[in-house]
Amino acid sequence: MYDSNGGNGRGGEAFVDLRSDTVTRPTATMRRAMAEAPVGDDVYGEDPTVNDLQKRAAEIFGREAALFVPSGSMGNLIAIKTWTRPGLEVICEQRAHVNQYELASMSALAGCFPRAAFAQDGILTWPLVESLIRAKSPNYSQTGLVTLENTHNMAGGTIYPTRVAEEICERAHERGLPVHLDGARIFNVSVAAGKSVRDLTAKFDSVMFCLSKGLGAPVGSMVVGSKEFIEKAHVHRKMLGGGMRQAGVLAAAGLIALEETPKILHRDHENAKYLAERLAKVPGISIDPAKVVTNILIFNVQQTGKTGAAISEELKRRGVLANATDKFLVRMVTHYDVDRAGIERAIAVMNEICAAERTHA
């Protein structure tokens, strides 16, 4: 059912594109479903396909309600806006998407301030979270929300031990704080941990997950939670310009992404592990394959004598796309549009680059 690399009509086959799983293109089945989707005006709540998607997402996560949103960034912002008010702080990990990659929207648009701390592998613990909670005092801004990210993107697709995440939720609740999960890639956690997304997220007050990353839908994310929370979130979606009309054409692909793609995500994890094991053997590259448990690898290239950006340029010249995420770090993300042959090519190219470097040294 899934098209092989480059076979679904977008072109660009010359590249092995490992920049992100956001680059996945809709499968032939998704495209057919999009063409045939019954639609209506979703701002009136009348799009049957959007309604089906929201119902299915709520069922799968064991929640009262769900909301289809245009992007993961908007989903996180809507959740932050719904749980907080201007002047409050949002606890998050230093490299969290909400902290570093959402253009300070929590401040610019929700009036909140990030209270971020670096955590090993991106995994916050209750003692660390507790240390960030503000004491009740007229001298401090007050804590409004805790957010976790699972998988943690910029820590290399790491996953929370379930108990660690649960403890943060339980203890935060005792302190009267809601906990939001940026679960953009929660289905990758589910596959890696062998647990349902429902069980993994049961203690969170709200969850955002993306249809448009490894699950392969062209557009869209979901926010799930209680009926009351989703009603408020709905208002914020409209306020932020996220009210869509005949969005059923997008939701149709989202439904297939949600039902079908989790079954094949394990291949992306196998490819990522294989890629990490091979890259670990390339002189100058540093990565611990044991830490690669989902579909994201971040490796250090400092010993090659080049920056991440320079390596990224050289890869591109040889037909492989990967982004630098820091001066000496490069990220590769596996997904269903890159098969094992594509992975082998990326490995061969990386060996070539490093061998060329040694010849010139």
Residues of this chain that bind ligand TLP (CB under 6 A): 20, 22, 71-73, 76, 97, 101, 149, 153, 182, 184, 210, 212, 221
CB 184 within 8 A of CB 19: no
Tokens 């989790």 correspond to what residue? 262
For ligand TLP, give the closer residue by CB, 20 or 24. Answer: 20
Start-end of H helices in 220-329: 227-239, 248-260, 265-279, 308-317
Least distance from ligand TLP to the Cβ atom of residue 185, Å? 6
Least distance from ligand TLP to the Cβ atom of residue 142, Å? 25
For ligand TLP, give the closer residue by CB, 91 or 184. Answer: 184
Residue 302: how many CB atoms within 10 A of its CB?
A: 14
Give the distance, in angstroms, between the CA of residue 316 and the centroid of all CA atoms in the same chain: 24
**Dist CA 56 CA 157 (whole Å):** 26
Least distance from ligand TLP to the Cβ atom of residue 221, Å? 6
Least distance from ligand TLP to the Cβ atom of residue 160, Å? 13
- Tell me which DSSP letter residue 39 carries: -
Least distance from ligand TLP to the Cβ atom of residue 223, Å? 12
**Dist CA 128 CA 182 (whole Å):** 18
For ligand TLP, give the closer residue by CB, 61 or 354. Answer: 61
Query: What does the DSSP assignment read for 172-230?
Result: HHHTT--EEEE-TTHHHHHHHHT--HHHHHTT-SEEEEESSSTT--SS-EEEEE-HHHH
Give the distance, in angstroms, between the CA of residue 309 and the centroid of all CA atoms in the same chain: 23
For ligand TLP, give the closer residue by CB, 215 or 287. Answer: 215
**Dist CA 276 CA 18 (whole Å):** 13
Handedness of CA 174, 94, 298, 17 (dihedral sign): positive
Least distance from ligand TLP to the Cβ atom of residue 123, Å? 14
For ligand TLP, give the closer residue by CB, 148 or 256. Answer: 148
Cα dihedral 10/13/15/20 (nearest 10): 40
Q: Which residue is nearest to ligand TLP (CB)?
A: 72
For ligand TLP, give the closer residue by CB, 211 or 282. Answer: 211
Least distance from ligand TLP to the Cβ atom of residue 95, Å? 10
Least distance from ligand TLP to the Cβ atom of residue 157, Å? 10
Least distance from ligand TLP to the Cβ atom of residue 154, Å? 8
For ligand TLP, give the closer residue by CB, 216 or 284. Answer: 216
Which amino acid is present at 296? I
For ligand TLP, give the closer residue by CB, 6 or 70. Answer: 70
For residue 243, what are the contacts with CB-CB under 8 A and spacing of at least 6?
42, 43, 237
For ligand TLP, give the closer residue by CB, 219 or 354. Answer: 219
Give the distance, in angstroms, between the CA of residue 317 and the centroid of all CA atoms in the same chain: 28
Helix (H) or strand (E) holding 114: strand 113-117
